[in-house]
Amino acid sequence: MAEVRAEITANVWQVRVEVGQTVDEGDELVILESMKMEIPVEAPCSGTVSAIHVAPDSQVTEGDLVATITPAGA
Amino acid sequence: MADADDRYNWQPLIDDLTGRRGTALAMGGAERVQRQRDLGKLPVRERLELFVDPGTFVEYGQLADSMDPALAAKGPMAADGCITGIGDVDGRRVAIAAYDFTVMAGSMGAVNEAKVTRLRELVLRQRIPLVWLLDSAGARVGSGTGSTFAGAGALFREQVVLSGVVPQVGAMLGHCAAGTAYIPALTDFVPMVSGVASMALAGRHLVKAATGEDVTEEEMGGAEVHTRISGVADLAVGDDAECLTAVRRFLSFLPSNNTEPAPLRPTDDPIDRRATELYDIVPTAPRRAYDVKKVITAIVDDGDFFEIKPDWARNLVVGFAHFGGESVGIVANQPKVLGGALDVNAADKAARFISLCDAYGIPLVYLHDVPGFVVGTVVEKQGIIRHGAKMLFATSDATVPKISVVLRKSYGAGYFVMNGMGYECDYLVAWPTAEIAVMGPDGVVNIAFRKELEAVPEGPERDARRIELAEMIRANIDPYVAAGHAQVDDIIDPADTRAAVIAGLRANRSKQVSRPWRKHGVLPV
């Protein structure tokens, strides 16, 4: 399991993937909004989205879990 | 005649010398050398062959031994576990101290310390770079270990004396603890071999004894830790050969000492080459992210950029490149990570790199796209003001030519630390997308117009007023307002960025700055 965490305190602007979806390393999972910038949260590895822990318009703090990925082949 | 033969009997003496030399060249012996290879490491003498131009290495103290009666039974300690000497690297002289893990785990003993001390003296007299090839367990700990430690430690102080005089490199090629972990900490460039090298104040056995923590060297201080989390090391590399190539590349951007110019690298890349690909790389929409490394490779000579600390504090990119053949340090905000906002680690990374470039007379080019410093409780508790001050300090202190290009946003203290006009900036140009201001329009509305907004009934009416005010303020955030006040030197077509940077560097190559006398400024560390 790869845990994807927020690197900055932010609003969740968009969730770009669904649970069960296959993603490649570097794909945008969620787009946060902070410091007046769109901050993409990218998949750290290729695999399947096993959980999304945030919803649009919610708030995350640095270090919060954003999504969980089951790595390909795991 | 027999008498005459006795008086010219050289052969046994030559044989004895040759035998001793052979013992030294064999390092820790065939078995330990094989174990070194099994660990994925090259024997130290093969490292030197890879690193130094053939036939140029002059070794000092090859016949050194431990000279420790307690170790006499173990036989000769080849070169006492550390090879020292001077050789050419890409045609320029470099001093090298290379620890040999096959001899007493490359530990620092009295004799090899004396050899390295002599090397540091030569470095100071010759003013040539000092490269440490580190594969050493640290201090040699034995039965005699005790309070004679009271006289030890000058090596680090001497390294500090050399700092800013000659470039130093600490190449991490094996597990290094304590002393051999502080050596790289005081150098200017620390590449680490992934999965093989580690650095920690104490090795795992000492950690277990001291705190009970059970960890591997890799978990505690491997390349993954130091190039991604701690920021202690600069670059993760695949193996010994790749590591030595990285050291050679690092040195190619730097002069041999602080009184010489950095080497020029001739190029066929035209100085006025237009980089129209920038129109597709950088969005005009200010909130949209992009990869600033693509901007860097589009404008530097031959697209060749040597990034330092690529995996740590990725919201800021630093590294070396050439512009029109001249060696330059680049400091660029990275909108792709944290929106390019500056945090504690980014400020640290920038401060150290700027200090390095300034020490060796390498001009700095800043590429601005920064919404400011990250704000809020998390970063305040990390001391962001103190860390941000380091970057302010380094940029203010630097007297090399400093060029700034404002690509899009450059807000607040972010603009200052990125070499704003007030920082002895020698040429400041902006793209038409540039937004330079103390803060963005929404921030101004929330502060300056808070009372006015609160007087408007909450709901659509207040929202409309908020947008109206923001638009009014946005109209003042315009690069042509700054240009109109001659507070930026020019507004440029992004495609002409390369030409503008080179023009700025050439116009300011005789820069001189005189400061009031002082012993030194006080680092806000």
pTM beyond 0.90, yes or no: yes
Please tell me the distance from the alpha carbon of residue B255 to that of residue B261, in angstroms, as a whole number: 6
The whole-number average pLDDT for the span B336-363 is 97
Instruction: Please determine, for residue B1, whether its predicted confidence score (pLDDT) is greater than 80.
Output: no
Smallest CA–CA distance from B313 into chain A, residue: A7
Per-residue pLDDT, B330:
98
Chain B closest-CA separation from residue A47 CA (Å): 22
Total residue count of chain A as it appears in this document: 74
Beta carbons of B371 and A8 less than 8 Å apart: no
A35 band by pLDDT with thresholds 50, 70 and 90: confident
Please tell me the distance from the alpha carbon of residue A13 to that of residue A6, in angstroms, as a whole number: 13
Smallest CA–CA distance from B442 into chain A, residue: A36
Chain B closest-CA separation from residue A37 CA (Å): 5
Residues of chain A numbered 24-43 and touching chain B (CB < 8 Å): 34-40
CA-to-CA dists, residue B522 to B194, B382, B418, B430, angstroms: 36, 21, 20, 33
Residue B353's closest CA among B374, B332, B334, B370?
B332
Beta carbons of A37 and B289 less than 8 Å apart: yes
Q: Between A35, A38, A62, which is nearest B288 by CB?
A: A38
Instruction: Please determine, for residue B3, whether its predicted confidence score (pLDDT) is greater than 60.
Output: no
Beta carbons of A37 and B374 less than 8 Å apart: no
Please tell me the distance from the alpha carbon of residue B329 to that of residue B347, in angstroms, as a whole number: 16
Instruction: Please determine, for residue B119, whether its predicted confidence score (pLDDT) is greater than 70.
Output: yes
Smallest CA–CA distance from B314 into chain A, residue: A7
**Domains annotated on chain A, with CATH:** 2-71 (2.40.50.100)
Q: Between B288, B339, B378, which is nearest A35 by CB?
A: B339
Instruction: Please determine, for residue B338, whether its predicted confidence score (pLDDT) is greater than 70.
Output: yes
Smallest CA–CA distance from B343 into chain A, residue: A8
Q: Which residues, in sequence order, are bridge partners of residue A30?
A: A15, A41
As a whole-number percent, the residues of chain B with pLDDT over 70 amount to 99
**Domains annotated on chain B, with CATH:** 12-252 (3.90.226.10), 278-439+478-507 (3.90.226.10), 441-476 (no CATH)
Name the average pLDDT for chain B: 95
B366 band by pLDDT with thresholds 50, 70 and 90: very high
Beta carbons of A35 and B371 less than 8 Å apart: yes
B446 band by pLDDT with thresholds 50, 70 and 90: confident
Tell me the residues of B at the A interface, defined by beta carbons under 8 Å apart. 286-289, 335-341, 371-372, 374-376, 378, 440, 442
Tens digit of each residue's pLDDT (9 = 90 or more) over B150-175: 888 899 999 999 999 999 999 999 99
Question: DSSP assignment, residue B67?
Answer: -
Neighbours of B130 (CB within 10 A): 25
B440 band by pLDDT with thresholds 50, 70 and 90: confident
How high is the ipTM of this complex?
A: 0.79
Smallest CA–CA distance from A37 into chain B, residue: B287
End-to-end Cα spacing for chain B: 78
Interface test with B, best of A14, A16, A36 (most B CBs within 10 A): A36
Neighbours of B455 (CB within 10 A): 10
Residue B134's closest CA among B94, B88, B182, B92?
B182
Chain A closest-CA separation from residue B61 CA (Å): 49
Q: Which residues, in sequence order, are bridge partners of residue A49?
A: A69
Which chain A residues touch B289 with a CB distance below 8 Å?
Answer: 37-40
Q: Between B286, B289, B341, which is nearest A40 by CB?
A: B289
